[in-house]
Every structure is written in structure tokens, then in C-alpha cells.
Amino acid sequence: MSSSSASTIQSVLVENRVFAPSAEAQQGARVSGMAAYQALCDEAAADFDGFWARQARAHLNWSKPFSRTLDESNAPFYKWFDDGELNASANCLDRHIGTPVENKTAIVFEADDGTVTQVTYKDLLSRVSRFANALKAQGIGKGDRVIVYMPMGVEGIVAMQACARIGATHSVVFGGFSAKALNERIIDAGAVAVITANYQLRGGKELPLKAIVDDGIAMGGCTTLKTVLVYERTPSAWNRVEGRDKTFDEALQGQGDDCPPVAVDAEHPLFILYTSGSTGKPKGVQHATGGYLLWAKMTMEWTFDIRPEDVFWCTADIGWITGHTYVAYGPLAAGATQVVFEGIPTYPNAGRFWQMIEKHKVSIFYTAPTAIRSLIKAAESDEKVHPKNWDLSSLRILGSVGEPINPEAWMWYHRNIGHERCPIVDTFWQTETGGHVITPLPGATPLVPGSCTLPLPGIMAAIVDETGKDLPNGAGGMLVIKRPWPSMIRTIWNDPERFKKSYFPEEMGGTIYLAGDGAVRSEDRGYFRITGRIDDVLNVSGHRLGTMEIESALVSKTDLVAEAAVVGRPDDVTGEAVCAFVVLKRGRPTGEEAKQIANELRNWVAKEIGPIAKPKDIRFGDNLPKTRSGKIMRRLLRSIAKGEAITQDTSTLENPAILEQLAQTN
């Protein structure tokens, strides 16, 4: 960031709406009321190591108790509970055996075509154990890396848990990624096996997985790879490579369903997950077993206030960190019943999510702003898929994750899904943080639309300038976390230097975690609001503008705009100029109409934020370039805005055709 933070524009988007938790939400909540929240924060501040040690003893089953809590001797390579031993799978499954949870439904699986199957905790333990035995029979063991390239479903979760059970480190690759992305990850991770399916079913279509694995391996360099295990999701034929490929049935043949969990050191790598790549070459984020699992369980309890009778549904795919922490690990560690969904939100129509909430009596629903925005667009153009057609009264808590949620989308979610009754937890976190770090607590925090509110107890988040100096409320700056926390990234696989350089800048002393996001705290409550990636803060005539603010202003023109993304491009006069890419609710305009709407939007932004924020260029598209996780790829938009050819890695881009459309000027 180049300019001073003092000149941050005070946006008129300042949010005055506040929604205090209802008596109902506070009642019986684990953290009930702000005094309880504050007490936990105070405890962590007064006795940091003691706080975390007590949590780790209370929440996890240790096969060998730890005596050291935090080792900072080789910062920023922090270690937590490092002389303790445990097994993640045992903490998700075995721990419930002999308790009332053992016969409880762990997973309600709804397939793409609507077929529902249920799995109890006891069943899940036998399936995981049997699969773990099958992996061992392939010679896979502690320390090996295994790629999981699977559809959303029980088998994918079983594969991850089975790896954890034998101490193998999994690396899940999202089932929408290309052969090239897969090839790079197999090589970087040095994987010995790929667990995949012949096909996946999404939106009524059969899409190949195994064929992409074959292509990825054929690109060469996968010298460590020995085995490919194939789940036959559909009866369709697939190409078998003799000596390397085995079906699940063949691998499971003769395997018993008892497999003692392998105790590993708390710091043993549970998984590597490559980030989505919205800002550059994917990084293999490495997480440790003990600290990660601790936070997965604690945040289930704090952020979602999970209770025995809840039906939890996180819509994220296991290919993302959200699907790791809040599908594959957290809900199981918490002994919850969860819904797992194979399909997409718009099939057979855009009412699918609402219908499933009704059908499964979901009480906690956790999804992404991109999904919410697209379902708003659908509901507003077609009454039949409006959520009002379904009974959503089972809902108790709503969650949002992945991007800042625009206040307008927040309000729609609050009214139309939460019926002004359910707290919305806007959870800020990252692949690197392992679990939520800044989020409201449903029974405590007064909510402000578009704000992720306050850090969780023990998370020492702050906003600082380039030198690491604290900034006052109201001043925009860089989001940092000043002390380590148990579920933090341990390193970038194979690249400890990049780890230090990316997250622990020397100018700040080399030990403070830099999130890479810009943020500002509100003057009144000190609430955090994420203003966009640091790279996405624009400097227009010396004024610092968060891209997120301009995007929110555009999207708040609700009669016209469905989605918007804003980037900067160099400008001779103003330093940087604002460039907006806009998707309209009515479809893509051209010619005179495009010019006219662009002008209308410019004036709107001028009125909402100030003339300085007026987009110089506005371009219309049928969609925006997104990663497969639904995030806008602003680095590509930056190139388009500058008129450059795209030479960057687009292997994680979902809809490449859109780039050409957006390259056209009006």
C-alpha cells in the first residue's frame, strides 16, 4: 500500500442498522451476551498459553498429553502442543462410540437427483476404518501424501478421514479443477495415490473425473504416484490403467472394519490444501493435526453454537477449506448431524437450497455470498423459486463465508431466509487461518450488515499500517493477527521462504501474521469490515478506496445490478482509475443502452460514495470471471482493465469465455 491511510474516504455506506441478538438466540447459547464474550477475551489476554492449553485439554482426546503449549522459538514457524499425540479421525469418530451419539445420524446425504441416504456415526466409523485398511493394503501409511479428487459425498469424507486415521496427509483438489491443476498439485505434494471417482453428477450432468486424472498424470512428472483408486459413482465405463488403477470395491475386498487410529504428533501435517488462486500461483497451505482440529471443534461451538438437536448444513465443497473445517472435520468432532449435498443450487431449479432446508429441517445454514447473490437474482425474476414457497422455520442460525457480503445481500438473506429471526454470522477467515477468526457469535454479538464484527477470543486481530503500527478506528489499513493461534498455517508445502515472505513481513518484525486483506474498524463499536484484498485497495488522486465499497454501492442499485467487481488501472491524471465490471439483472446491454446505464451507474456511485469513486470505465458481462469456488478473479480483471493480454494461470477459472466479453469496451 502506497498512500497514507488518513485520507481514507468516509463512505456514505456507513452502516447504521444494528441487529442485537434476540432473547431466543441468547437463551442457552454457549457464549451468551457480550459480557461472556468479553470474559473469554480477557482470559486469553491475561493468560494466553493457559487459555489455549485448557481449551486443548477440554476439547480433544489426546493419546499422549502435551506438556508444551506454544513454542515460538523458531517463529514464524510456530508449534502448538507439539509433544502431545492424537489422531484426528479418532477425535471425530471413535470419541462418540459408547456415547448417545454413536447411533445418531452423522451425515444426511442428498444426491444430485434428490436421493437421500443417512449414515450414523457408528456406520461412518466402520466405513472409514475399512477404507483406511484398504489404503494400508496399498502400502500407504504415515507421512505419505494422498490426493483426493472426488465428488461431494460420503465417500470423499470417508477418504479424508481414512487418510487422517493412518497418518497420511491428504490434499483435496476440487472436482472442477483441470488436468493441469491436478498435475501441478500431484507433483508439488509428491503424492503416492489419487483417490477419485469415475464420474461426478452435477446439475443432472455426468462429468468425468477419472479421465481428467488420467490426463493430469499423462502430462508427466508424477514420479511418486503409484496408485489410483476409483469410486464408481455411476455405471458408466471408464478407462482402466492396469497395475495402477483399482476400484473401491476391489480395494475394499476382504478388508475388515477395525483399524486402530495411528497416533501422530500434534504438529503432524493433517492436510495440504492449495488456495483457490484468486491472487496468483496456488500455495500448498499446510495444517497441523492438533491445533487445526481444536479450532474446528471450538468454532462449531462458538460460531454456530452447535447443539445436539441441530441439523447443520454447510454448502461448501470438500475441495475448499470451508468444506474441510465445516464438513469433513468440525461437524464430526462436534458430534453433529449434517447435510451433505452432491449437486448445485440451481438444479432442478434455483429453489433447491430452500427446498432442502425444508426437507431436512436444517437449523444452521452456512453458504457463500456468491450463492446468495445468484439466488436473489433467480428469486427476483421467477416467483416459483422465491424462498417464500418453502417452510424455513427450522432455521436458527445463518452463516456467510468466502467474500465480504454486501449489505444489500445481507438484508435479503436476513429477511427472506432468516425471517428477521436468525442471526447471520458473517465469518471472516482464510485457508491459512484454518477456521473462523473474525465473526459474530450468534448469542452475543449485535450484528451490522456487511461487517464480520469482532475477533474470536484468543485471536489478536488488529489493523495496522505498513510498519505494523496500530491504526485508530475509522482508519483503513492492513488486517493482521499479532499472536499465533493453534489452527494457523504452519508453512507452505515445499516453500518455507514463500511462507515467511507472504505472511510475515520483515517490516513488521517477521512474527505478525499478515492476512493480505484490507480492513477498517468502525468508529463506534470497533467492528471490523473487510474492504478487499490489499492489492484491491485503489489510490485515486491520493484517496484510498476499497474496491468492496464501490462494489457494494453498485450492487445497492438493486433494480439494475446483480453483481459487480471493481479493479484499478493506472491513470495518468489520477494515479489509478476505477474500472467496474457489472452484471445486470436484465441481461447484458449493448450500444446506446449500455452507455446510458453506465452513466446512470456512475452518477449513482457519485451519490453513494462521492464523485472521486465514480468508475471511469464500466463494462458489462453476462457473468464475471470466477474461480470454481465462486470468487471473482480480480487479477484477471486487472489485466483486462489495462488492456493487457491474459498470460496468467487460468487453470482455476470456471468460465473462460467471459473474459472475451468483458474485454470489449462500450
Residue listed under C-alpha cell 462418540: 96
Of the ranges 82-90, 423-431, 456-464, 603-611, which one interacts with ligand ATP (CB under 6 A)? 423-431
**Under rule CB under 6 A, residue 25 binds ligand ATP:** no
Residue 253's contacts (CB-CB under 8 Å, 6 or more residues apart) are: none
CB of 176 closer than 8 Å to CB of 654? yes
Q: Which is nearer to ligand ATP, 261 or 277 (CB)?
A: 277
Round to whole Å and give the CA distance between 183 and 433.
26
C-alpha cell at 425: 454470522
Interaction of residue 277 with ligand ATP, rule CB under 6 A: yes
Site for ligand ATP in 506-525 (CB under 6 A): 515-517
Q: Which is nearer to ligand ATP, 257 or 654 (CB)?
A: 654
Question: Residue 606: how many CB atoms within 10 A of its CB?
Answer: 15
From the annotation, which residues make up the binding site?
Answer: 202-205, 322, 402-404, 426-431, 517, 533, 541, 544, 555, 561
* Residues contributing to the annotated binding site for ATP: 402-404, 426-431, 517, 533, 544
Using rule CB under 6 A, residue 87 touches ligand ATP:
no
Strands (E), 572-616: 575-584
Question: Would the CA dihedral through 235, 237, 242, 243 be positive or negative?
Answer: negative
| 530 makes contact with ligand ATP (CB under 6 A) | yes
169 binds ligand ATP (CB under 6 A): no
Min dist. Cβ of residue 326 to ligand ATP (A): 12
Contact between 547 and ligand ATP by CB under 6 A: the answer reads no
Contact string (CB under 6 A) for ligand ATP, positions 392-421, x = contact: ---------xxxx-----------------
| Residues flagged as binding site for Mg(2+) | 555, 561
3-state DSSP helix/strand/coil % of the chain, to nearest 5: 35, 25, 45
Residue 303 in contact with ligand ATP, rule: CB under 6 A: no
Q: Is 626 in the site for ligand ATP (CB under 6 A)?
A: no
Terminal Cα distance for the chain, rounded: 31
Nearer to ligand ATP, 277 or 442 (CB): 277
| Contact call for residue 287 and ligand ATP (CB under 6 A) | no
In the sheet that holds 528-533, the strands lie side by side as: 461-464, 477-481, 513-521, 528-533
Site string for ligand ATP, 316-335 (x = CB under 6 A): ----xx--------------
> What's the CA gap between 641 and 648, in Å, rounded?
15
Nearer to ligand ATP, 55 or 547 (CB): 547
Site for ligand ATP in 216-275 (CB under 6 A): 275
Grid cell 451468551 — which residue?
32
Distance CA 371, CA 361 (A): 20
Does residue 428 belong to the site contacting ligand ATP (CB under 6 A)? yes
CB closer to ligand ATP, 71 vs 649: 649
Q: Give the up-direction half-sphere exposure of residue 361: CA atoms within 13 A in the CB hemisphere.
A: 3
Q: Note whether 367 binds ligand ATP by CB under 6 A.
A: no
Of 133, 227, 286, 427, the one binding ligand ATP by CB under 6 A: 427
Give the closest residue to 636 by CA, choosing from 625, 623, 652.
625
CA distance 72 to 511: 9
* CA dist., res. 626 & res. 411, Å (int): 24
Rounded-to-integer distance, Cα 564 and Cα 369, Å:
13
| Among 89, 91, 430, 556, interactor with ligand ATP by CB under 6 A | 430
**Interacting residues of 219 by C-beta distance below 8 A, sequence separation 6+:** 179, 180, 183
Q: Which of 77, 76, 79 is nearest to 509 (CA)?
A: 76
Residues binding ligand ATP: number (CB under 6 A): 24
Fill in the per-residue mask, 431 to 470: x = in contact with ligand ATP (CB under 6 A), - = not in contact: x--------------------x------------------
- 3-class state of residue 519 by DSSP: strand
535 binds ligand ATP (CB under 6 A): no
Closest separation between CB of residue 247 and ligand ATP, Å? 32
Which residues contact ligand ATP by CB under 6 A?
275-279, 320-321, 401-404, 426-431, 452, 515-517, 530, 533, 631
